[in-house]
């Protein structure tokens, strides 16, 4: 008996990504814990062992499994294969969970050494970088500003910057889990000048993007982003996400939204710098494009110590009625906030409550969790934000959605900031600005916010 117990303990310790329940009778393990691929089409074998039934939670779109099973029981051998075209590759996890969601286990996949599918881009040409495998396809469209013709060469700076932004967008939940619902397109854009403007002045670039004071970014030719995106068959900007990568080393980022009434829909462009000095592109893309752009989330930080007044409340309520900013609330009663279902499920969502300070105000506006991507650019969307993102994905895929269904299928690791990440955040100041929004009404003057 002593040898059996020691053997079981050794198994739990030896596999670095294994989640072992406190009860040694319940386990879910995968071996090996990591795989490295050097060629497209290469396959490697893994073994999953569980004390009961288990299910596939997520995998990158550029991996396939053989046998292609989503549920299993006991021990199962699976072959993992990576594919480059028409996808990008990189680093990601394949994750499984017990049927009751009590425990999870993952294998880390590193395919970053693979040669990515490069295509010679020209001005206003495009290619499809990823194809959806679920639903009719939600379109993510990327283009760049401040790149000269020689930088659009296959595998050159233009493409690698776009690929990095795509990896960043899907590197955070729930986009990692639901990435199979997305098509990804890259559009070429040639500028005469290399790099974008600063100090509020544009250069001779395709979209006339520039930095203003602080961390705000604008593009005088932002309408061209929508025009070029809709040259792609099947792309409707109201149901898509557009990212404009600016060839810049200056920190910043801003999401620009136009809400058209009628038809009562919004479209947006998230402007992000390609190589922000002293910071990473990843959290900026996740905050601006994943949070503000596609997710339609509000900022959850405060910087000025002010209390929201009635005008501010009316503005927030107006946008919430239009389907935006539903991750914050001017109500702090746990029974009445829009995320009350999560508060009632404290077994799984013990971190969800009402925390004062959001929407740039220190007082009078509440958020649901202490930390989130929309608060401190952390690599984590809080539970209500994840639900709002998934709700939009499911709606665009014409699939049913309910909070109860979401909570039963929401696989996440509670987030805790560490000192290293906190020090990185100190370099990312000033904070990213609030989104710029315009209500476009064909029957009256447009209102800019």
The pLDDT-based confidence of 345 (bands split at 50, 70, 90) is very high
The pLDDT-based confidence of 21 (bands split at 50, 70, 90) is very low
Distance CA 166, CA 373 (A): 17
pLDDT mean over 128-143: 92
The pLDDT-based confidence of 115 (bands split at 50, 70, 90) is low
Whether 19 has a pLDDT exceeding 70, the answer reads no
Q: How many CA atoms lie within 13 A of 219 on its CB side?
A: 33
Distance CA 364, CA 356 (A): 7
Query: Residue 240: its pLDDT value, please?
Result: 96
Residues 107, 93: contact at Cβ < 8 Å? yes
Whether 10 has a pLDDT exceeding 70, the answer reads no
Question: What residues contact residue 224 under an 8 Å CB cut-off, 6+ apart?
Answer: 206, 207
**Residue (of 139, 140, 162) closest to 234 by Cα position:** 139
Whether 15 has a pLDDT exceeding 80, the answer reads no
The pLDDT-based confidence of 43 (bands split at 50, 70, 90) is confident
pTM of the model: 0.77
Distance CA 60, CA 85 (A): 13
329: left (phi over 0), alpha (psi -120 to 50) or beta: beta
Q: How far is CA 334 from CA 302, 347, 349, 398, 442, in A?
A: 21, 16, 13, 31, 40
% of the chain surpassing 70 pLDDT = 87
Domains of the chain: 2-110 (2.60.40.10), 126-296+436-448 (3.40.390.10), 310-426 (no CATH)
Largest Cα separation within the chain, whole Å, is 81
Residues 141-191 have pLDDT tens digits of 999 999 999 999 887 899 999 999 998 999 899 998 999 899 999 999 999
Residues 391-438 have pLDDT tens digits of 999 999 999 999 999 999 998 888 877 654 444 444 445 678 899 999
pLDDT mean over 293-317: 94
Residues 185-225 have pLDDT tens digits of 999 999 999 999 999 999 999 999 999 988 899 999 999 99
**Residue (of 295, 284, 325) closest to 390 by Cα position:** 295
């Amino acid at each position: 008996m002593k040898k059996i117990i020691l053997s079981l303990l050794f198994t739990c310790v030896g596999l670095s990504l294994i989640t072992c329940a406190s009860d040694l009778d319940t386990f879910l393990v995968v071996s090996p814990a990591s795989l490295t691929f050097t060629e497209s089409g290469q396959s490697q074998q893994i073994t999953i062992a569980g004390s009961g039934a288990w299910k596939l939670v997520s995998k990158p779109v550029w991996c396939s499994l053989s046998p292609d099973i989503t549920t299993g029981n006991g021990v199962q051998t699976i072959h993992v294969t990576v594919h480059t075209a028409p996808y990008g590759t990189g680093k990601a996890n394949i994750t499984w969970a017990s049927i009751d969601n009590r425990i999870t286990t993952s294998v880390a996949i590193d395919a970053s050494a693979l040669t990515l599918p490069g295509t010679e881009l020209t001005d206003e040409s495009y290619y499809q970088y990823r194809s959806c495998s679920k639903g009719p396809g939600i379109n993510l469209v990327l283009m760049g500003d401040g790149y000269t013709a020689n930088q659009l060469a296959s595998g050159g700076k233009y493409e690698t910057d776009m690929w990095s932004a795509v990896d960043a967008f899907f590197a955070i939940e729930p986009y990692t889990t639901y990435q199979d619902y997305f098509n990804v397109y890259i559009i070429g854009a040639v500028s005469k000048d290399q790099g974008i403007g600063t100090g509020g002045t544009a250069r001779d670039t395709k979209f006339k993007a520039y930095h203003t004071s602080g961390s705000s970014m604008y593009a005088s030719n932002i309408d061209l982003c929508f025009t070029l995106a809709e040259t792609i068959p099947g792309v409707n900007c109201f149901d898509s996400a557009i990212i404009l990568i600016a060839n810049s080393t200056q920190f910043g980022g801003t999401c620009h939204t136009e809400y058209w009434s009628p038809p009562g829909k919004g479209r947006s462009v998230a402007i992000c710098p390609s190589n922000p000095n002293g910071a990473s592109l990843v959290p900026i893309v996740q905050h601006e494009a994943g949070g503000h752009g596609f997710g339609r989330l509000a900022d959850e930080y405060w910087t000025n110590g002010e209390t929201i007044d009635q005008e501010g409340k009316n503005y927030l309520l107006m946008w919430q009625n239009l389907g935006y900013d539903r991750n914050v609330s001017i109500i702090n009663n746990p029974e009445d906030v829009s995320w009350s279902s999560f508060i009632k499920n404290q077994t799984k969502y013990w971190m969800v409550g009402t925390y004062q300070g959001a929407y740039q105000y220190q007082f009078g506006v509440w958020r649901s969790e202490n930390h989130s991507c929309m608060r401190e650019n952390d690599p984590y969307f809080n539970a209500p934000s994840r639900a709002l993102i998934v709700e939009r994905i499911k709606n665009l895929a014409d699939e049913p959605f309910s909070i109860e269904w979401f909570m039963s299928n929401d696989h996440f690791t509670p987030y805790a900031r560490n000192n290293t990440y906190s020090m990185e955040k100190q370099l990312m100041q000033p904070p990213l600005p609030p989104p710029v929004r315009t209500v476009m009404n064909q029957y009256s003057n447009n209102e800019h916010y």
